[in-house]
Amino acid sequence: MFGRLFGAKTPILDSLPEVRGKYIENAKLAKHTWFGVGGPAEVLFLPEDADDLRTFLVRKPEEIPVTIIGGGSNLLIRDGGIPGVVIKLDAPAFKKVSFNGTEVTAGAGLRNIDLKKELIAHGTGGLEFVCSVPGRIGGLLRSNAGCFGNTVADVFVKAHIMNGWGNVYETTAEDFNFSYRSSMFPDDWIVLDVTLNGHMAAPEEIKKTMDEQMAYRKKTQPVNQKTAGSTFKNPEGLQAWKLIKESGCAGLKVGGAEVSDKHCNFLINRGKATAEDIEELGEMIIEKVKEKTAITLEWEVRRMGVKK
């Protein structure tokens, strides 16, 4: 299917370098996203470690495009899938955690929620909010993720990244120029690990804060449904959910996609939605809000891939 996009006569797998990790042709990406929709990757690459990733980047043909995905919690992959190679850091080498005083360094492939027990065990507070952000550690930087009045920029120390040429750099906050739900993040950067700084706290207090935050999410958000979290960024000084509700979008549906009845800024896949349903619903909301308020909402969910 994708080979025709590149004028190729043979699958691109034939031209990829030998690696220690795993290549999966025509890999179903829907199972790698929280929405549970989207077409396949021409090839999915699961590197064994950073050296394996570097080998791939240095030796792959230059014309083959590369796309990085994380936990898929803030991602909408279109129904036509993603041409080229999709990389996901899912091996144990990318999930290590270490502490240095109040600083914690976590591998990019670690699920944010899996940092919970580590923080409690080491008595490191101030980072509880990170555990309630859906997704994985590597995805925190691109969107300057945050909740409960905190953002990654507030606690960020440094990160190790690998660029498209396989070179590794240590970066600081100045390299990202963090702003509300965004950063100046080059497309060819791959986060390897992130170091965050918290403060000393009693384990029971850390756990209490985490439990309270999770309880709040369960009460106010559709946490057990197929959704990608907040769909649109909050315009400065305003709340996206309120604009959506006041514009008559509550309960709006397109195919198997609909606006959550629990939180208007969450779109839900009721089970049979396509990526096109979800994207069309989002664009419909943007148009209705613009007609009602003259404000243009901006997608917070990252969209990628080609339409079917």
pLDDT tens-digit map of 154-213: 999 999 999 999 999 999 999 988 888 878 888 889 999 999 999 999 999 999 999 999
Of 132, 183, 230, 260, the catalytic one is 230
* Cβ 164 vs Cβ 180: under 8 Å: no
b/e per residue 223-255 (b: at least 16 CB within 10 A): beebbbbbbbbbbeeeebbebbbebebeebebe
Q: According to CATH, where is 3.90.78.10 located in the chain?
A: 222-304
Q: According to CATH, where is 3.30.43.10 located in the chain?
A: 2-92
Whether 300 is catalytic is: yes
- Return d(Cα 244, Cα 292) in angstroms, integer: 10
Whether 59 is catalytic is: no
Residues with Cβ within 8 Å of residue 297, at least 6 apart in sequence: 232, 233, 235, 240, 243, 244, 285, 286, 289, 290
The residue among 90, 102, 104 whose CA lies nearest residue 158 is 104
- Return d(Cα 87, Cα 228) in angstroms, integer: 20
- What pTM was computed for the model? 0.91
Q: According to CATH, where is 3.30.465.10 located in the chain?
A: 95-205
CATH class of the structural domain 222-304? alpha beta
Whether 2 shows a pLDDT value over 80: the answer reads no
- Return d(Cα 170, Cα 166) in angstroms, integer: 13
Sheet with 66-69, edge to edge strand ranges: 22-28, 40-46, 82-88, 66-69
Whether 1 shows a pLDDT value over 50: the answer reads no
* Cβ 222 vs Cβ 263: under 8 Å: yes
* Cβ 196 vs Cβ 247: under 8 Å: no
CATH 3.30.450.90 is held by the domain 2-92:
no
Q: What separation in angstroms does the CA of 37 have from each of 31, 75, 78, 82, 140? A: 8, 10, 8, 13, 22
Which two structure tokens, joined as six digits, stand for 244? 């959506």
The tens digit of pLDDT for each residue in 255-297 reads 999 999 999 999 999 999 999 999 999 999 999 999 999 999 9
Q: Residue 180 has what pLDDT?
A: 83
**How many other C-beta atoms can be found within 10 angstroms of the C-beta atom of residue 116?**
19
Of 132, 136, 181, 279, the catalytic one is 181
The residue among 41, 141, 134 whose CA lies nearest residue 87 is 41
The residue among 66, 103, 90, 206 whose CA lies nearest residue 138 is 90
Question: Helices (DSSP H) in the chain: which residue ranges?
Answer: 50-59, 116-122, 128-132, 152-155, 173-176, 203-220, 240-246, 275-293
Q: Residue 186 has what pLDDT?
A: 87
- Return d(Cα 111, Cα 199) in angstroms, integer: 21
* Cβ 136 vs Cβ 110: under 8 Å: yes
Whether 302 is catalytic is: no
Between residues 24 and 134, the one the model is more confident about: 24
- Return d(Cα 133, Cα 269) in angstroms, integer: 20
Whether 10 shows a pLDDT value over 80: the answer reads no
For the chain, the straight-line distance linking the first and the last C-alpha, in angstroms and rounded, comes to 11
Q: Residue 169 has what pLDDT?
A: 95
| CATH architecture entry for 95-205 | 2-Layer Sandwich (3.30)
